[in-house]
């Protein structure tokens, strides 16, 4: 079992540079324009009940972003 875990981790580490290159290529393509990105939202506070939400303009009854969610949104914006 330990050998399988080590193998899986090794494969992931070996693939990381290729994934980074793919991400860089994807970002370059996106920055050229002509694409639509759909992002729902980042991390929210699940302790807030949004069952009473009546519309998207009804911010008082929506689950708000957590500090982590705001940081994720900022990071997404910076990368794009």
Q: Are 44 and 66 in contact (CB under 8 A)?
A: yes
Q: Indicate if 53 and 23 belong to the same structural domain.
A: no
Three-state SS at 57: coil
pTM of the model: 0.54
The pLDDT of residue 19:
45
Q: Indicate if 17 and 47 belong to the same structural domain.
A: no
The pLDDT of residue 68:
93
Q: How far apart are CA 56 and CA 72, in angstroms?
A: 21
If you search the block for the tokens 């506070």, which residue do you land on?
45
Q: Indicate if 19 and 44 belong to the same structural domain.
A: no
Report how many domains make up the chain. Answer: 2
Q: Indicate if 46 and 21 belong to the same structural domain.
A: no
The pLDDT of residue 17:
54
The pLDDT of residue 63:
87
Per-residue pLDDT tens digits for 13-70: 454 455 456 677 888 888 888 888 788 888 988 888 888 888 888 888 888 889 999 9
Structural domain of 2: 1-32
The pLDDT of residue 76:
82
């Amino acid at each position: 079992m330990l050998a399988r875990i080590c193998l899986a981790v090794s494969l992931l580490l070996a693939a990381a540079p290729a994934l980074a290159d793919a991400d860089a290529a994807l970002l370059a393509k996106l920055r050229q324009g002509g694409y639509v990105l759909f992002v729902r939202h980042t991390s929210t506070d699940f302790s807030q009940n949004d069952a009473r939400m009546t519309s998207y303009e009804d911010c008082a009854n929506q689950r708000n972003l957590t500090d982590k969610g705001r940081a994720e949104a900022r990071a997404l914006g910076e990368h794009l």
